[in-house]
Every structure is written in C-alpha cells, then in structure tokens.
Structure 1
Amino acid sequence: MEQQTSENYRAQNKKAWEYSAYDFWMTHSGPPAERAKEAVENPLRMLKQFAAYFDRYEGVRVANLCGSCGKKAVPLALLGAEVTVFDISEDNRRYAMEFAGAAGADIRYEVCDVLEIDPGRYGGYFDIVFMEGGILHYFHDIDQFMKVCHTLLKPAGKMICSDFHPFTKIADLLELEQPSRGYFDTAVFEGEMAHARFYEEPVRSRMPKCLYRKYTVSEIINSVIGCGFALERFDEHPAWTNDRVPGEFTLVARK
C-alpha cells in the first residue's frame, strides 16, 4: 500500500526497529558474549570487505550511522578506533552495548534520529562517517541525509557508504522478500522490515512496517557531489545470492 511522505515517517521506522529487535539479535547473531569471542579473535574478519576502505584504525574517530547491533562498531573499536554509533533503536543499543562490554571494546552509542544529530556537539568531529547494511532507503530526502554526513566530518574527512545496490529495486536480488518496483520509481512505500522473513506468519503479520524510499545510482552519486563531497570510488559488489548480478555497492567520498 502506497504511503505519502509525512512528518512522522521516522517515528514509524523507529517503532518498527524497536519491535523485538533485541530478541532477534539474540536469536540470529547469538548471545553478546558468544559474538564477542569472535570479534576479539579476529576483528578484521568481522569487518569483512569494509576493512579495505579504512587506511588505519588507531585513534580514528568514526561515526557509524544506523550502526544497529554494533556488528561493525565493536570490531572497529577493538582495532583502536574511537567509535560513536548513531541509531534510532533502543533495542539495538542494548544488544550493541552488551556485545561491546563482553568484548572489552569502548564504544559510544547515541539513540537518536540521524537527521537530528547535534551539529554543535558533533559537527566537524569525525575522521570517517561509515554506514553499511542498507540504510539509505530509510531516509526520504537523500540530500538532507548527505548534508548531515558532510557536517559530521572534519575537513578532508572520508565517508564510506555501503548499501544495497539500486538494481535491487527492480528484482529481489538479495532475497529480502520485498516487492519489486520500477527502477525510476520515486514513491515512498510501506514495506516489511528486512528481518521479518525470519518470523512465523502470526508474528510476522503483527510486526510494524517501515516507510521506504529507494534511490537510483544517479540520485545517490549526484546527492554526494551536490552536498560538497569529492567522489573517490564507487565499487559494485555481487549479490550474495547470485554473483552474476550486483547486490551491494560501496561509495567513498572526501569532504
């Protein structure tokens, strides 16, 4: 069912992301203490392909936007980075802080709307703004989002933005069980949480929905450039379900 963009769409997304999120991470990522053992043993392995986009870690200030359960924030902190997670879900924060504590990692976690991060406190503070896992579709004005990223960075700071490839608009390449749309469709639409598919139907049908806006490659790149960044890289990655088609991308830009 199509929905119009409204002032409270972010409140609806927050409600969705706080619906049993802690229990979900416990079930699908394991208890924080178990996950911590893996992180301590090999933090670089937990960063996966993203390790290639960091020049160094020690003392680097990283803003991890929509950092969820801390799956990348904790290994970054173990490698020596000063990490601040900004995420809308208190349930996510609970799991992430337990994970960090068990791993002996020091992270800061701000439960807030990313678009309302205090520029007086965090403007020009970070060396790197990092996001991954598919977050752009939660923001219905991509220019507004990119301006926040630009504001958070120091001069010459770097943004590492990894997300679902826009081709996933037209086909369910990542098997997230979300409806396909026209590539150039700009509508805001209501859809399930990405992890709703892991629940039995009685629970799945009760889960709050999110309001999404999906972007094209050109919309993303033009927003990055238009907000004052210098684009350095745009890498495409194969879908984890089919290595013949793109499923994700990573964009690197400099302030």
Structure 2
Amino acid sequence: MKTIINFAKIFEEKNISYQFVGPTALAIQGIHMDVSDSIFIDIQWDSLEQVYDLFLDKLPSEIIKDVKSASFSFGYNENKVHIHCEYNTTIRTNPYRIAVEMEDAIVWCVSFYTYLYNPKADPMLAEKVHSYLLNKQNKMTEANQRAWNQNNYQALINRYGDPANAAAKIKENPEWRLHPFLNYMGDLQDKKILHLMGSNGVKGVALSLLGAKVTIVDFSAENERFAKEVAREAGVSLEYVVSDVLNLPDLIQSEAYDMVLMELGVLHYFIDLQPLFSTIHSKLSKGGIFLLHEFHPISTKLITSSGKKHKVTGNYFDPSLEEVNVAFSKHMGSEQQTELTKSLQRKWTIGEVVTSVGQNGFRITVLEEEPNHKIHDIGLPKTYTLVAAK
C-alpha cells in the first residue's frame, strides 16, 4: 500500500485528477486482492503527456493510443504500474469516484459498486465484491438487530398506543394503511403474501383484514410482540418469523407466495441488492409479483427542505455507507435515545434498484414516482412504487 500512497501524493502535488481502478481499487477499499504485481490507475486524459514525463526516469513503455483511449506502463519498485485514460472523460465528475483515507494521505479510487452495475466489468471482480459485501452485510445485520431490539416495543406503544387501540384504528380503514400501493395488489382474498421486514405488523394486519394470508419476516422480537398483540386484538391470523431476510428458516424456504411486499425505509439496510432480490425471486410462485414501495432518493439523498426553502445538500450518486440512529428513536425519550445502537445504511438510486431487480429475473411492469403532498414541496417526488413479475 506504500506505493499506492506515494502515487496519490505525487498526483495530488501536481494537481492531476486520477483514480485507482480494478483490483487496486478493491484492495484500497478493504477487499482482499493480490496487488503485489500490478497497479492500475486512470488519469485525466489531458494530463497524459505530463504524467508520462513525470516517470521518464522509470523508462515507461511507448504510449499506445486509439480513437478512444491511451495507455502506457512502467516498473515502480516491485510493481508494474498501468496508466490509462479515456479521451473526453472527466475524472473528477465520475459519480462513483470516492476518497479513502490511508495513513496520512487521501487516495482516490472508484467505488467497488462500479463493478456491480457496469456491463463491461470483469465478472471476477464483481464476484469478489458480492462476497465482500455479503460478509459485511452479516456483520451489519447483527448490529442492526441489536438496535431494533432495544426499547422498540415501548417506542411502538408511544407511537400507536396500546395494541387494542392500534387494532381499532386499523380496522376502521385498513385500505388507508396500504395507500398508495394497494392499487397494484388486486383481489387480496386468500392471497399468500410475504411481507419482508414487516416491522410492527400494521400493514400485515391491514392485509389480513382484507382477506390475505400474511407471513411477516423481521429480525426484531419486539416488533413481533407488538404485531401479534395487534393481530389478536384485530381478530386476524398473522404468521410472524423472527429472522434476517437473507437467512430465512426452512419454513419460509419451502413456501411459494403470490406476492412479496417491501415498503418504506427498508432497502437502505442492504449494502448489496443482488442477494436480496434473488431471495425474493425464489420465494415467489410463477406469475407472482414483487411490490416495492419506498422513499424516493431525491428526497433521501439529494434535497433537504425547510418550509419554502429547498437545498441540494447531498450527492445523489454517493455510494458510501451512513451511520444513523434507528428509525424508531424519535419516539423515545432523550435518555433512551443515547443508549441506542447506531444502524448502518446504504441509500440507493432509482437506477441501481431497477437494474438490480431486472438482473435477478424480474419483468418490471410499473415504476410510479409519487409526489410530495406538502404545499411547499409540490413538484418534488416523495415515494415510488415498483411492481415486478416473476
């Protein structure tokens, strides 16, 4: 890694835009890769001659050019360094270019997510990334599970009232609890629905009241307690499985469902969408549908609003992980909030979601972007609904 840091300092000193790519970029981000032989760097195309001159003492190869790109290589200590550029491409505006702190330097490289959504990416690199993310996901799930089993039951009481009161309100108008995605669910009578990360069971109880046979999967035992009590008060049957959705028990693995539902604030708990959507596809019967209702990334990643004022405060394409308080913390007292475990999130763009759904065998039939109904936020998307068939 010393060589990588040296190059980062050289390019920074000369104000040359660059990014480490390929196996080198993955190694910088913590993925185990053998980079002892070769280092791969993309540079700003109009800096090519300047970079070549910087390393004349290393006896670089001749520059190989075609109509799209140029490259050369040279030996540096025990490594072979490969320099490459794409003409008329601006390095600094690459949306997946990220900064990584290494010792006393900032090192720029392409995010490993690049290799999951680029059709020209090396499949071997993609597999390395998937494996790394799955391992990291499991560790994140353990932390998130601890967070969602700290005082969550009391937070639900604070928000919805006691289970009898919550059940009475749901029974008054179960359809309202399923707005706006109920429009895409059809006749619910006897439909087998798997609600992944179904949380407190409010949506599950509403679906059951409308005739569906509902199974909820969620890793919070406190959510399960509240959901079962609400279902009992509402007079409906509700199956609840306490489990991580990527490690479903045998009971769920053997079932085939008419519909899988995920809604509002759940995708950001997954740092790789491929295993999630693959799992969902495997749970559906032929012709079954996956229905996703989520917050729009324009409102979660890009724009913040206060009254009439709107500001672009984020980077829509930012692929980094974010540490936040668990969602229910706002319903807890300040003393209890300080005791809560943090939760890690990855916020996804619409393009990443649609691409991942399509890559896992689904046929997307609906993508509806729904407006914000607050008077000062008219014209901004708040949520979206995606419907995909198996």
Same-fold status (TM-score > 0.5)? yes
Q: How many residues align?
A: 249
Query: Which letter maps to 2:150?
Result: Y
Separation in structure 2 between the aligned mates of residue 49 and residue 174 of structure 1, nearest angstrom: 25
CA deviations on 1:60-117 (whole Å, 9 max, x unpaired) are: 0000011011111001111110000000100000000000000001010000000011
The equivalent residue for 1:75 is 206
CA contact (8 A) 1:136 1:214 kept: yes
Q: 1:37 aligns with which of 165, 168, 171?
A: 168
The equivalent residue for 1:222 is 355
Does 1:104 find its partner at 2:239?
no
| Segment of structure 1 superposing worse, 207-216 or 41-50 | 41-50
The equivalent residue for 1:170 is 302
- Distance verdict in 2 for CA 1:119–1:245, change over 3 Å: farther
Separation in structure 2 between the aligned mates of residue 165 and residue 254 of structure 1, nearest angstrom: 21
The equivalent residue for 2:215 is 84
Separation in structure 1 between the aligned mates of residue 296 and residue 141 of structure 2, nearest angstrom: 22
Query: SS of the residue aligned with 1:100?
Result: helix
Q: 2:385 aligns with which of 245, 250, 253?
A: 250
TM-score after normalising by structure 1: 0.91
Using the TM superposition, give the Cα deviation of residue 121 of structure 1 relative to its aligned residue in structure 2, in angstroms.
4.2
Using the TM superposition, give the Cα deviation of residue 181 of structure 1 relative to its aligned residue in structure 2, in angstroms.
3.9
The equivalent residue for 1:22 is 153
Using the TM superposition, give the Cα deviation of residue 199 of structure 1 relative to its aligned residue in structure 2, in angstroms.
3.7
Query: SS of the residue aligned with 2:364?
Result: strand
Q: 2:327 aligns with which of 171, 186, 194?
A: 194
Query: SS of the residue aligned with 1:196?
Result: helix
Separation in structure 2 between the aligned mates of residue 150 and residue 144 of structure 1, nearest angstrom: 10
Identity over aligned residues, as a percent?
33
The equivalent residue for 1:210 is 343
Using the TM superposition, give the Cα deviation of residue 119 of structure 1 relative to its aligned residue in structure 2, in angstroms.
6.2
CA contact (8 A) 1:123 1:153 kept: no
| Segment of structure 1 superposing worse, 119-128 or 218-227 | 119-128
Query: Which letter maps to 2:288?
Result: G
Separation in structure 1 between the aligned mates of residue 218 and residue 161 of structure 2, nearest angstrom: 20
CA deviations on 1:158-197 (whole Å, 9 max, x unpaired) are: 011011111111234699xxxx642111112211122323
Query: SS of the residue aligned with 1:57?
Result: coil
Within 5 Å, which residues of 2 pair with 1:228-239? 228-239=361-372
Instruction: Calculate the aligned-residue CA RMSD, in Å.
Output: 2.2
Q: 2:188 aligns with which of 41, 44, 57?
A: 57
Could you list the runs of 5+ residues in structure 1 that have no partner in the other structure?
none
Using the TM superposition, give the Cα deviation of residue 139 of structure 1 relative to its aligned residue in structure 2, in angstroms.
0.8
Could you list the runs of 5+ residues in structure 2 that have no partner in the other structure?
1-99, 101-131, 308-312
CA contact (8 A) 1:63 1:85 kept: yes
CA contact (8 A) 1:124 1:155 kept: no
| Segment of structure 1 superposing worse, 188-197 or 63-72 | 188-197
- Distance verdict in 2 for CA 1:124–1:199, change over 3 Å: closer
CA deviations on 1:108-145 (whole Å, 9 max, x unpaired) are: 00000000114674355100001112100001111111
Query: Which letter maps to 2:227?
Result: A
Structure with more contact order per residue of length (Cα contacts < 8 Å, sep ≥ 6): 1
| Segment of structure 1 superposing worse, 186-195 or 133-142 | 186-195
CA contact (8 A) 1:173 1:247 kept: no
The equivalent residue for 2:87 is none
- Distance verdict in 2 for CA 1:116–1:231, change over 3 Å: same
Separation in structure 1 between the aligned mates of residue 381 and residue 252 of structure 2, nearest angstrom: 38
CA contact (8 A) 1:163 1:248 kept: yes
CA contact (8 A) 2:294 2:384 kept: yes
Query: Which letter maps to 1:207?
Result: L
Query: SS of the residue aligned with 1:250?
Result: strand
Separation in structure 2 between the aligned mates of residue 197 and residue 23 of structure 1, nearest angstrom: 12
- Distance verdict in 2 for CA 1:30–1:252, change over 3 Å: same
Separation in structure 1 between the aligned mates of residue 244 and residue 174 of structure 2, nearest angstrom: 28
Using the TM superposition, give the Cα deviation of residue 34 of structure 1 relative to its aligned residue in structure 2, in angstroms.
0.8
TM-score after normalising by structure 2: 0.60
